[in-house]
Protein backbone atom coordinates (compact mmCIF):
# COMPACT_ATOMS: atom_id res chain seq x y z
CA UNK A 1 0.00 0.00 0.00
CA UNK A 2 2.84 2.41 0.83
CA UNK A 3 4.46 1.74 -2.55
CA UNK A 4 1.16 2.37 -4.36
CA UNK A 5 0.67 5.65 -2.52
CA UNK A 6 4.20 6.75 -3.41
CA UNK A 7 3.48 6.08 -7.09
CA UNK A 8 0.28 8.11 -6.93
CA UNK A 9 2.12 10.94 -5.20
CA UNK A 10 4.80 10.96 -7.92
CA UNK A 11 2.21 11.10 -10.72
CA UNK A 12 0.33 13.87 -8.89
CA UNK A 13 3.55 15.85 -8.45
CA UNK A 14 4.37 15.64 -12.17
CA UNK A 15 0.81 16.67 -13.00
CA UNK A 16 1.11 19.64 -10.67
CA UNK A 17 4.32 20.86 -12.35
CA UNK A 18 2.74 20.50 -15.82
CA UNK A 19 -0.34 22.42 -14.65
CA UNK A 20 1.85 25.28 -13.39
CA UNK A 21 3.65 25.44 -16.74
CA UNK A 22 0.34 25.54 -18.64
CA UNK A 23 -0.88 28.31 -16.31
CA UNK A 24 2.18 30.33 -17.19
CA UNK A 25 1.16 30.57 -20.84
CA UNK A 26 -2.45 31.36 -19.92
CA UNK A 27 -1.53 34.32 -17.68
CA UNK A 28 -2.89 37.78 -18.44
CA UNK A 29 -0.92 40.08 -20.69
CA UNK A 30 -0.91 43.22 -18.49
CA UNK A 31 0.69 41.39 -15.58
CA UNK A 32 3.30 40.02 -17.99
CA UNK A 33 4.21 43.55 -19.09
CA UNK A 34 4.80 44.92 -15.60
CA UNK A 35 8.41 45.66 -14.59
CA UNK A 36 10.16 43.26 -12.27
CA UNK A 37 13.42 41.51 -11.41
CA UNK A 38 14.95 38.78 -13.58
CA UNK A 39 14.22 35.22 -12.55
CA UNK A 40 16.92 33.52 -10.52
CA UNK A 41 16.13 30.30 -12.42
CA UNK A 42 13.38 28.97 -14.69
CA UNK A 43 12.28 26.34 -12.19
CA UNK A 44 12.13 28.42 -9.01
CA UNK A 45 11.76 31.94 -10.44
CA UNK A 46 12.19 34.49 -7.64
CA UNK A 47 10.79 32.17 -4.96
CA UNK A 48 14.04 31.72 -3.04
CA UNK A 49 14.67 35.48 -3.08
CA UNK A 50 11.15 36.31 -1.89
CA UNK A 51 11.26 33.90 1.05
CA UNK A 52 14.95 34.13 1.93
CA UNK A 53 15.80 34.87 5.57
CA UNK A 54 18.21 37.50 4.22
CA UNK A 55 15.67 38.88 1.77
CA UNK A 56 15.62 42.45 3.09
CA UNK A 57 17.51 44.03 0.19
CA UNK A 58 15.61 42.08 -2.45
CA UNK A 59 12.23 43.22 -1.09
CA UNK A 60 13.24 46.84 -0.57
CA UNK A 61 14.83 46.97 -4.03
CA UNK A 62 11.62 45.70 -5.65
CA UNK A 63 9.85 48.95 -4.79
CA UNK A 64 12.88 51.19 -5.26
CA UNK A 65 13.61 49.79 -8.72
CA UNK A 66 10.19 48.86 -10.08
CA UNK A 67 7.60 50.94 -8.22
CA UNK A 68 4.46 50.17 -6.26
CA UNK A 69 3.34 47.28 -8.50
CA UNK A 70 5.71 44.79 -10.09
CA UNK A 71 5.97 41.28 -11.51
CA UNK A 72 7.79 38.44 -9.77
CA UNK A 73 7.99 34.79 -10.77
CA UNK A 74 7.32 31.62 -8.82
CA UNK A 75 7.79 27.99 -9.82
CA UNK A 76 7.87 26.94 -13.47
CA UNK A 77 7.33 30.49 -14.71
CA UNK A 78 4.15 31.12 -12.70
CA UNK A 79 3.60 34.87 -12.25
CA UNK A 80 2.80 36.81 -9.09
CA UNK A 81 1.83 40.46 -8.60
CA UNK A 82 3.93 42.24 -5.95
CA UNK A 83 2.13 45.34 -4.70
CA UNK A 84 1.96 48.14 -2.12
CA UNK A 85 -0.31 50.62 -3.95
CA UNK A 86 -2.81 52.04 -1.37
CA UNK A 87 -5.85 51.98 -3.67
CA UNK A 88 -5.09 48.43 -4.74
CA UNK A 89 -4.71 47.40 -1.09
CA UNK A 90 -8.07 49.02 -0.29
CA UNK A 91 -9.72 46.84 -2.92
CA UNK A 92 -7.86 43.70 -1.83
CA UNK A 93 -8.59 44.01 1.89
CA UNK A 94 -11.84 45.98 2.05
CA UNK A 95 -13.90 46.84 -1.03
CA UNK A 96 -13.45 43.58 -2.96
CA UNK A 97 -12.13 41.34 -0.19
CA UNK A 98 -14.46 38.53 -1.31
CA UNK A 99 -12.43 38.32 -4.54
CA UNK A 100 -8.98 38.31 -2.92
CA UNK A 101 -8.62 35.45 -0.46
CA UNK A 102 -6.00 33.06 0.82
CA UNK A 103 -5.28 30.22 -1.58
CA UNK A 104 -7.15 26.91 -1.31
CA UNK A 105 -3.85 25.23 -0.49
CA UNK A 106 -3.19 27.53 2.49
CA UNK A 107 -6.78 27.39 3.75
CA UNK A 108 -6.80 23.60 3.65
CA UNK A 109 -3.38 23.39 5.29
CA UNK A 110 -4.62 25.64 8.11
CA UNK A 111 -7.79 23.58 8.52
CA UNK A 112 -5.78 20.37 8.61
CA UNK A 113 -3.49 21.91 11.25
CA UNK A 114 -5.86 23.87 13.50
CA UNK A 115 -9.39 22.94 12.43
CA UNK A 116 -12.17 25.29 11.35
CA UNK A 117 -10.83 28.61 12.61
CA UNK A 118 -10.29 32.19 11.48
CA UNK A 119 -7.17 31.01 9.65
CA UNK A 120 -8.99 28.40 7.57
CA UNK A 121 -12.34 29.95 6.68
CA UNK A 122 -13.57 32.53 4.18
CA UNK A 123 -16.86 34.08 3.19
CA UNK A 124 -19.96 33.36 5.28
CA UNK A 125 -18.19 30.97 7.67
CA UNK A 126 -15.43 33.50 8.37
CA UNK A 127 -17.92 36.33 8.93
CA UNK A 128 -19.87 34.16 11.36
CA UNK A 129 -16.74 33.44 13.39
CA UNK A 130 -15.69 37.11 13.38
CA UNK A 131 -19.17 38.12 14.55
CA UNK A 132 -18.81 35.86 17.59
CA UNK A 133 -15.18 36.70 18.30
CA UNK A 134 -15.13 40.48 17.81
CA UNK A 135 -16.97 41.25 21.08
CA UNK A 136 -14.60 39.15 23.20
CA UNK A 137 -11.65 41.24 22.00
CA UNK A 138 -13.38 44.48 22.97
CA UNK A 139 -11.72 47.19 25.07
CA UNK A 140 -13.95 46.19 27.98
CA UNK A 141 -12.42 42.73 28.04
CA UNK A 142 -8.90 44.05 27.43
CA UNK A 143 -9.28 46.17 30.56
CA UNK A 144 -10.25 43.04 32.48
CA UNK A 145 -7.21 41.11 31.26
CA UNK A 146 -4.63 43.50 32.68
CA UNK A 147 -4.87 41.93 36.15
CA UNK A 148 -3.97 38.58 34.56
CA UNK A 149 -1.01 40.01 32.66
CA UNK A 150 0.78 41.85 35.48
CA UNK A 151 1.68 38.74 37.55
CA UNK A 152 3.27 37.21 34.44
CA UNK A 153 5.32 40.36 33.80
CA UNK A 154 6.38 40.50 37.46
CA UNK A 155 7.46 36.85 37.39
CA UNK A 156 9.57 37.37 34.25
CA UNK A 157 11.16 40.44 35.84
CA UNK A 158 11.98 38.55 39.04
CA UNK A 159 13.54 35.64 37.13
CA UNK A 160 15.80 37.98 35.17
CA UNK A 161 16.70 39.96 38.32
CA UNK A 162 18.13 36.74 39.78
CA UNK A 163 20.40 36.45 36.75
CA UNK A 164 21.73 40.02 36.80
CA UNK A 165 21.67 41.02 40.48
CA UNK A 166 25.45 40.51 40.83
CA UNK A 167 26.23 42.88 37.98
CA UNK A 168 26.03 43.21 34.23
CA UNK A 169 24.98 39.96 32.60
CA UNK A 170 24.42 38.91 28.99
CA UNK A 171 21.31 36.82 28.46
CA UNK A 172 19.20 35.61 25.57
CA UNK A 173 16.36 38.10 25.91
CA UNK A 174 14.32 36.33 23.26
CA UNK A 175 14.07 33.16 25.33
CA UNK A 176 12.30 34.98 28.14
CA UNK A 177 10.19 37.21 25.93
CA UNK A 178 9.02 34.09 24.09
CA UNK A 179 8.18 32.35 27.35
CA UNK A 180 6.29 35.42 28.55
CA UNK A 181 4.32 35.74 25.30
CA UNK A 182 3.24 32.11 25.59
CA UNK A 183 1.96 32.68 29.10
CA UNK A 184 0.16 35.90 28.14
CA UNK A 185 -1.74 34.06 25.42
CA UNK A 186 -2.20 30.92 27.54
CA UNK A 187 -3.56 32.67 30.62
CA UNK A 188 -5.19 35.69 28.98
CA UNK A 189 -6.42 33.87 25.90
CA UNK A 190 -7.22 30.38 27.17
CA UNK A 191 -7.36 30.57 30.97
CA UNK A 192 -4.64 27.90 30.93
CA UNK A 193 -0.93 27.70 31.65
CA UNK A 194 1.85 26.09 29.64
CA UNK A 195 4.23 26.62 32.58
CA UNK A 196 6.40 28.46 30.07
CA UNK A 197 8.24 30.38 32.79
CA UNK A 198 9.52 27.16 34.33
CA UNK A 199 12.94 26.03 33.15
CA UNK A 200 11.78 22.42 33.17
CA UNK A 201 10.97 20.48 29.99
CA UNK A 202 8.80 22.41 27.53
CA UNK A 203 5.07 21.69 27.31
CA UNK A 204 4.20 19.25 24.49
CA UNK A 205 1.71 21.71 22.98
CA UNK A 206 4.30 24.51 22.91
CA UNK A 207 6.79 22.23 21.16
CA UNK A 208 4.14 21.35 18.58
CA UNK A 209 3.30 25.02 17.95
CA UNK A 210 6.99 25.87 17.51
CA UNK A 211 7.69 22.94 15.17
CA UNK A 212 4.58 22.84 12.99
CA UNK A 213 5.61 25.59 10.53
CA UNK A 214 9.13 24.31 9.76
CA UNK A 215 7.80 20.75 9.58
CA UNK A 216 5.02 21.64 7.13
CA UNK A 217 7.39 23.89 5.17
CA UNK A 218 9.57 20.84 4.51
CA UNK A 219 6.58 19.21 2.77
CA UNK A 220 6.31 21.88 0.09
CA UNK A 221 5.17 19.69 -2.81
CA UNK A 222 2.59 17.81 -0.77
CA UNK A 223 1.22 21.13 0.50
CA UNK A 224 0.66 22.27 -3.07
CA UNK A 225 -1.30 19.08 -3.75
CA UNK A 226 -3.68 19.45 -0.79
CA UNK A 227 -6.61 20.84 -2.87
CA UNK A 228 -6.37 17.73 -5.06
CA UNK A 229 -5.78 15.22 -2.26
CA UNK A 230 -8.76 16.53 -0.26
CA UNK A 231 -11.11 15.59 -3.09
CA UNK A 232 -10.47 11.88 -2.59
CA UNK A 233 -12.53 9.86 -0.14
CA UNK A 234 -13.56 10.66 3.41
CA UNK A 235 -11.48 12.32 6.11
CA UNK A 236 -10.90 8.89 7.69
CA UNK A 237 -9.66 7.52 4.36
CA UNK A 238 -7.28 10.45 3.91
CA UNK A 239 -5.96 9.94 7.43
CA UNK A 240 -5.24 6.32 6.54
CA UNK A 241 -3.31 7.53 3.50
CA UNK A 242 -1.20 9.70 5.78
CA UNK A 243 -0.57 6.76 8.12
CA UNK A 244 0.56 4.65 5.15
CA UNK A 245 2.89 7.32 3.78
CA UNK A 246 6.53 6.15 4.22
CA UNK A 247 7.91 9.58 5.11
CA UNK A 248 9.35 10.62 8.46
CA UNK A 249 8.44 14.25 7.78
CA UNK A 250 4.82 13.34 7.03
CA UNK A 251 4.62 11.24 10.20
CA UNK A 252 6.21 14.06 12.20
CA UNK A 253 3.59 16.50 10.89
CA UNK A 254 0.81 14.03 11.78
CA UNK A 255 2.16 13.68 15.32
CA UNK A 256 2.36 17.46 15.84
CA UNK A 257 -1.16 18.01 14.52
CA UNK A 258 -2.46 15.26 16.81
CA UNK A 259 -0.81 16.99 19.79
CA UNK A 260 -2.48 20.30 18.89
CA UNK A 261 -5.85 18.61 18.48
CA UNK A 262 -5.61 16.58 21.69
CA UNK A 263 -4.48 19.51 23.85
CA UNK A 264 -7.12 21.85 22.39
CA UNK A 265 -9.77 19.27 23.28
CA UNK A 266 -8.46 19.01 26.85
CA UNK A 267 -8.52 22.79 27.33
CA UNK A 268 -12.00 23.03 25.82
CA UNK A 269 -13.45 20.21 27.95
CA UNK A 270 -12.02 21.74 31.12
CA UNK A 271 -13.59 25.11 30.29
CA UNK A 272 -16.99 23.60 29.51
CA UNK A 273 -16.95 21.63 32.78
CA UNK A 274 -16.17 24.80 34.76
CA UNK A 275 -19.02 26.71 33.11
CA UNK A 276 -21.45 23.89 33.89
CA UNK A 277 -20.35 23.83 37.53
CA UNK A 278 -21.14 27.51 37.95
CA UNK A 279 -19.49 30.75 39.03
CA UNK A 280 -17.25 29.33 41.77
CA UNK A 281 -15.57 26.84 39.43
CA UNK A 282 -15.08 29.60 36.86
CA UNK A 283 -13.48 31.95 39.40
CA UNK A 284 -11.15 29.18 40.59
CA UNK A 285 -9.62 28.89 37.10
CA UNK A 286 -6.51 30.68 35.88
CA UNK A 287 -7.62 34.19 34.97
CA UNK A 288 -10.83 33.84 36.99
CA UNK A 289 -12.90 33.35 33.86
CA UNK A 290 -11.78 36.65 32.29
CA UNK A 291 -9.81 34.92 29.54
CA UNK A 292 -10.88 35.15 25.91
CA UNK A 293 -11.94 31.50 25.62
CA UNK A 294 -14.14 31.55 28.73
CA UNK A 295 -15.87 34.74 27.59
CA UNK A 296 -16.39 33.25 24.12
CA UNK A 297 -17.87 30.01 25.48
CA UNK A 298 -20.29 31.80 27.79
CA UNK A 299 -21.38 34.19 25.05
CA UNK A 300 -21.75 31.32 22.58
CA UNK A 301 -24.15 29.48 24.87
CA UNK A 302 -26.43 32.54 24.85
CA UNK A 303 -26.23 33.03 21.07
CA UNK A 304 -29.17 32.02 18.83
CA UNK A 305 -28.65 28.62 17.21
CA UNK A 306 -28.22 30.02 13.70
CA UNK A 307 -25.29 32.23 14.83
CA UNK A 308 -23.79 29.88 17.41
CA UNK A 309 -20.30 28.53 16.76
CA UNK A 310 -20.07 24.76 16.48
CA UNK A 311 -17.81 22.88 18.86
CA UNK A 312 -15.19 22.25 16.16
CA UNK A 313 -15.11 25.98 15.33
CA UNK A 314 -14.27 26.85 18.94
CA UNK A 315 -11.71 24.06 19.14
CA UNK A 316 -10.07 25.48 16.02
CA UNK A 317 -9.57 28.88 17.65
CA UNK A 318 -7.47 27.47 20.51
CA UNK A 319 -4.42 26.53 18.48
CA UNK A 320 -5.02 29.56 16.26
CA UNK A 321 -4.82 31.97 19.22
CA UNK A 322 -1.44 30.58 20.31
CA UNK A 323 0.00 30.21 16.81
CA UNK A 324 -1.04 33.68 15.64
CA UNK A 325 -0.30 35.50 18.88
CA UNK A 326 2.82 34.13 20.55
CA UNK A 327 5.61 34.39 17.98
CA UNK A 328 4.43 37.69 16.50
CA UNK A 329 4.32 39.34 19.92
CA UNK A 330 7.74 37.91 20.76
CA UNK A 331 9.12 39.36 17.53
CA UNK A 332 7.67 42.81 18.25
CA UNK A 333 8.86 42.88 21.86
CA UNK A 334 12.36 41.72 20.94
CA UNK A 335 12.58 44.32 18.19
CA UNK A 336 11.68 47.12 20.61
CA UNK A 337 14.26 45.95 23.17
CA UNK A 338 16.97 45.59 20.52
CA UNK A 339 16.25 49.07 19.17
CA UNK A 340 16.32 50.53 22.67
CA UNK A 341 19.64 48.79 23.35
CA UNK A 342 21.26 50.48 20.34
CA UNK A 343 19.47 53.80 20.97
CA UNK A 344 20.20 54.50 24.67
CA UNK A 345 18.86 58.06 24.50
CA UNK A 346 15.44 56.80 23.43
CA UNK A 347 15.62 54.10 26.10
CA UNK A 348 16.37 56.66 28.82
CA UNK A 349 13.49 58.88 27.71
CA UNK A 350 11.06 55.96 27.68
CA UNK A 351 12.28 54.71 31.06
CA UNK A 352 11.70 58.16 32.52
CA UNK A 353 8.12 58.17 31.26
CA UNK A 354 7.14 54.73 32.55
CA UNK A 355 9.04 55.10 35.83
CA UNK A 356 7.39 58.42 36.63
CA UNK A 357 3.95 57.00 35.87
CA UNK A 358 4.54 53.89 37.96
CA UNK A 359 5.97 55.86 40.89
CA UNK A 360 2.73 57.79 41.07
CA UNK A 361 0.28 54.94 40.40
CA UNK A 362 2.03 51.55 40.72
CA UNK A 363 0.85 48.99 38.19
CA UNK A 364 -0.99 51.09 35.64
CA UNK A 365 -4.55 50.35 34.63
CA UNK A 366 -5.39 49.88 30.95
CA UNK A 367 -6.23 53.48 30.15
CA UNK A 368 -3.21 54.93 31.97
CA UNK A 369 -0.87 52.47 30.24
CA UNK A 370 -2.33 53.17 26.80
CA UNK A 371 -2.16 56.90 27.51
CA UNK A 372 1.64 57.08 27.86
CA UNK A 373 2.56 59.07 24.71
CA UNK A 374 6.20 58.10 24.23
CA UNK A 375 5.55 54.43 24.97
CA UNK A 376 2.83 54.54 22.35
CA UNK A 377 5.16 56.26 19.87
CA UNK A 378 7.93 53.69 20.36
CA UNK A 379 5.52 50.79 19.88
CA UNK A 380 3.83 52.30 16.83
CA UNK A 381 7.10 53.16 15.12
CA UNK A 382 8.57 49.72 15.78
CA UNK A 383 5.48 47.99 14.40
CA UNK A 384 5.59 50.31 11.37
CA UNK A 385 9.24 49.90 10.40
CA UNK A 386 9.64 46.30 11.59
CA UNK A 387 6.30 44.48 11.23
CA UNK A 388 6.65 40.94 12.65
CA UNK A 389 5.00 39.53 9.52
CA UNK A 390 6.53 41.14 6.44
CA UNK A 391 4.09 40.03 3.76
CA UNK A 392 0.64 38.64 3.02
CA UNK A 393 -0.41 36.55 0.03
CA UNK A 394 -3.80 36.48 -1.66
CA UNK A 395 -5.27 34.70 -4.70
CA UNK A 396 -8.00 36.01 -7.00
CA UNK A 397 -11.16 33.88 -6.82
CA UNK A 398 -12.49 35.36 -10.06
CA UNK A 399 -11.35 37.63 -12.87
CA UNK A 400 -10.87 41.15 -11.52
CA UNK A 401 -9.48 44.59 -12.32
CA UNK A 402 -7.25 46.12 -9.65
CA UNK A 403 -7.12 49.96 -9.78
CA UNK A 404 -3.94 51.85 -8.89
CA UNK A 405 -3.52 55.16 -7.08
CA UNK A 406 0.01 55.45 -8.43
CA UNK A 407 0.22 54.44 -12.13
CA UNK A 408 3.18 52.25 -13.11
CA UNK A 409 5.18 52.06 -16.31
CA UNK A 410 5.47 48.88 -18.35
CA UNK A 411 8.76 47.00 -18.39
CA UNK A 412 9.69 48.63 -21.72
CA UNK A 413 8.70 52.10 -20.47
CA UNK A 414 6.29 52.69 -23.36
CA UNK A 415 3.00 52.13 -21.51
CA UNK A 416 1.45 53.38 -18.29
CA UNK A 417 -1.00 51.28 -16.33
CA UNK A 418 -3.68 52.82 -14.08
CA UNK A 419 -5.24 49.43 -13.42
CA UNK A 420 -4.21 45.79 -13.66
CA UNK A 421 -6.59 43.14 -15.04
CA UNK A 422 -6.11 39.86 -13.18
CA UNK A 423 -7.31 36.41 -14.11
CA UNK A 424 -8.87 34.01 -11.64
CA UNK A 425 -6.15 32.17 -9.74
CA UNK A 426 -3.57 34.97 -9.90
CA UNK A 427 -1.32 35.11 -6.84
CA UNK A 428 -0.67 38.50 -5.19
CA UNK A 429 2.00 39.32 -2.62
CA UNK A 430 1.26 42.36 -0.47
CA UNK A 431 4.48 43.72 1.03
CA UNK A 432 3.54 44.93 4.50
CA UNK A 433 7.17 45.91 5.02
CA UNK A 434 7.31 48.18 1.96
CA UNK A 435 3.80 49.59 2.39
CA UNK A 436 4.69 50.68 5.93
CA UNK A 437 7.90 52.33 4.67
CA UNK A 438 6.43 54.13 1.67
CA UNK A 439 8.24 57.42 1.08
CA UNK A 440 5.15 58.71 -0.72
CA UNK A 441 3.32 58.47 2.62
CA UNK A 442 6.03 59.02 5.24
CA UNK A 443 8.55 61.18 3.42
CA UNK A 444 12.21 60.63 2.60
CA UNK A 445 13.02 59.34 6.10
CA UNK A 446 10.36 56.61 5.86
CA UNK A 447 12.87 53.79 6.39
CA UNK A 448 14.28 55.36 9.57
CA UNK A 449 13.07 54.38 13.02
CA UNK A 450 11.93 57.71 14.54
CA UNK A 451 9.42 57.33 17.39
CA UNK A 452 9.10 61.10 17.70
CA UNK A 453 7.24 61.25 14.38
CA UNK A 454 4.15 59.97 16.23
CA UNK A 455 4.26 62.84 18.73
CA UNK A 456 3.38 65.51 16.16
CA UNK A 457 -0.11 66.41 15.01
CA UNK A 458 0.62 65.03 11.54
CA UNK A 459 2.72 61.86 11.51
CA UNK A 460 2.87 61.58 7.71
CA UNK A 461 3.74 63.93 4.87
CA UNK A 462 0.76 62.80 2.79
CA UNK A 463 -3.02 62.50 3.04
CA UNK A 464 -2.83 58.99 1.58
CA UNK A 465 -4.12 56.31 3.94
CA UNK A 466 -3.52 52.57 3.97
CA UNK A 467 -6.42 50.19 4.75
CA UNK A 468 -4.92 48.97 8.03
CA UNK A 469 -6.62 48.71 11.42
CA UNK A 470 -3.57 50.10 13.26
CA UNK A 471 -1.78 53.43 13.36
CA UNK A 472 -4.59 55.73 12.22
CA UNK A 473 -4.97 53.92 8.89
CA UNK A 474 -1.29 54.46 8.09
CA UNK A 475 0.19 51.06 8.94
CA UNK A 476 -0.52 47.62 7.45
CA UNK A 477 1.10 45.59 10.25
CA UNK A 478 -2.21 44.03 11.34
CA UNK A 479 -3.66 44.36 7.79
CA UNK A 480 -7.31 45.44 7.49
CA UNK A 481 -10.82 44.52 6.47
CA UNK A 482 -12.54 41.26 7.35
CA UNK A 483 -9.25 39.41 7.83
CA UNK A 484 -7.53 42.04 9.99
CA UNK A 485 -5.78 40.68 13.07
CA UNK A 486 -8.61 40.30 15.56
CA UNK A 487 -6.22 40.34 18.53
CA UNK A 488 -4.18 43.45 17.78
CA UNK A 489 -5.39 45.22 20.95
CA UNK A 490 -4.44 42.11 22.94
CA UNK A 491 -0.95 42.21 21.40
CA UNK A 492 -0.61 45.94 22.03
CA UNK A 493 -1.48 45.44 25.69
CA UNK A 494 1.11 42.66 26.06
CA UNK A 495 3.78 44.80 24.43
CA UNK A 496 3.23 47.96 26.44
CA UNK A 497 2.72 46.23 29.77
CA UNK A 498 5.88 44.13 29.41
CA UNK A 499 7.96 47.18 28.46
CA UNK A 500 6.65 49.22 31.40
CA UNK A 501 7.82 46.56 33.86
CA UNK A 502 11.13 45.70 32.19
CA UNK A 503 12.34 49.27 31.63
CA UNK A 504 11.65 50.28 35.22
CA UNK A 505 14.02 47.53 36.36
CA UNK A 506 16.66 46.95 33.66
CA UNK A 507 19.02 48.84 31.37
CA UNK A 508 19.45 47.08 28.02
CA UNK A 509 22.62 47.42 25.93
CA UNK A 510 24.26 45.62 23.02
CA UNK A 511 25.88 42.32 23.85
CA UNK A 512 29.24 40.89 22.80
CA UNK A 513 27.70 39.34 19.68
CA UNK A 514 26.23 41.42 16.86
CA UNK A 515 22.55 40.78 16.21
CA UNK A 516 20.93 40.60 12.79
CA UNK A 517 17.31 40.01 11.87
CA UNK A 518 16.06 37.19 9.69
CA UNK A 519 13.16 38.09 7.43
CA UNK A 520 11.21 35.24 5.78
CA UNK A 521 7.52 35.26 6.82
CA UNK A 522 8.26 36.15 10.47
CA UNK A 523 11.03 38.51 11.54
CA UNK A 524 13.33 36.94 14.14
CA UNK A 525 16.72 37.92 15.61
CA UNK A 526 19.84 35.79 15.48
CA UNK A 527 23.61 36.20 15.92
CA UNK A 528 25.38 37.60 12.86
CA UNK A 529 28.14 35.52 11.24
CA UNK A 530 27.25 32.48 13.34
CA UNK A 531 26.71 29.02 11.88
CA UNK A 532 23.89 28.59 14.38
CA UNK A 533 20.98 30.58 12.95
CA UNK A 534 18.51 29.67 15.66
CA UNK A 535 16.42 32.65 16.85
CA UNK A 536 18.04 34.44 19.80
CA UNK A 537 18.68 37.96 21.08
CA UNK A 538 21.76 38.23 23.32
CA UNK A 539 21.77 41.58 25.14
CA UNK A 540 23.57 42.92 28.20
CA UNK A 541 21.36 43.79 31.15
CA UNK A 542 22.09 45.76 34.30
CA UNK A 543 19.78 46.76 37.11
CA UNK A 544 18.49 50.32 37.24
CA UNK A 545 19.97 52.00 40.31
CA UNK A 546 17.40 52.88 42.93
User: What domains does the chain contain, in order, with CATH numbers?
Assistant: 132-386+482-543 (1.10.630.10)
485 among the known binding-site residues? yes
The stretch 280-290 carries a mean pLDDT of 69
The rounded distance, in Å, linking the Cα atoms of 225 and 243 is 17
Give the confidence band of 176 by pLDDT, cuts at 50, 70, 90.
Answer: very high
Cα dihedral 113, 526, 59, 40 in deg (nearest 10): -80
> In Å, how far from its chain's centre is CA 171?
25
Q: Which of 10-14, 223-227, 411-415 is least confident?
A: 10-14
Q: What integer pLDDT is reported at residue 287 of this predicted model? A: 66
Q: What integer pLDDT is reported at residue 233 of this predicted model? A: 67
Position 1 pLDDT exceeds 90: no
The rounded distance, in Å, linking the Cα atoms of 317 and 308 is 14
Give the confidence band of 421 by pLDDT, cuts at 50, 70, 90.
Answer: very high
Helix (H, G, I), strand (E, B) or coil at 50: helix
Instruction: List phi, psi (to 5°) of 172.
Output: -80, 95
Helix (H, G, I), strand (E, B) or coil at 442: helix
The stretch 484-498 carries a mean pLDDT of 96
pLDDT tens digits along 303-317: 999 899 999 999 999
Task: State pTM to two decimals.
Answer: 0.90
Q: Look at the alpha carbons of 201, 256, 317, 177 in this order and tell me if their dihedral is positive or negative.
A: positive
Q: Where are the alpha helices (DSSP H) in 343-406?
A: 344-361, 366-370, 373-385
pLDDT tens digits along 245-261: 888 888 898 999 999 99
Q: What integer pLDDT is reported at residue 5 of this predicted model? A: 46
The stretch 176-189 carries a mean pLDDT of 95
Amino acid sequence: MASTFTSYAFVASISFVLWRIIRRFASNSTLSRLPGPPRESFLTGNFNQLFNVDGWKFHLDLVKNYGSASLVHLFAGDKMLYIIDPLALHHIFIKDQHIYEKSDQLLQLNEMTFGRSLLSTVGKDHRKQRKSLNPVFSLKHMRGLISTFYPIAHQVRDIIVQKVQKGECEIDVMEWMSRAALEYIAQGGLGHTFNALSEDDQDEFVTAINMIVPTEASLFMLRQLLPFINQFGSANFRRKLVEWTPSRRVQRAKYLIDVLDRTSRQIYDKKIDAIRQGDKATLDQIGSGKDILSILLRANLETPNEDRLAEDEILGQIGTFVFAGADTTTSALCHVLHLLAVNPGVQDKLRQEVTTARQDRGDLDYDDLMGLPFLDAVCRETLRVYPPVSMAVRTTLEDAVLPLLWPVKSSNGKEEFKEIPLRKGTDIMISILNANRSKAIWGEDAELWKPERWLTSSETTSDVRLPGVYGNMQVMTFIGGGHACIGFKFAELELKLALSILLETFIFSSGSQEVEWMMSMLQQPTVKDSEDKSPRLPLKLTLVKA
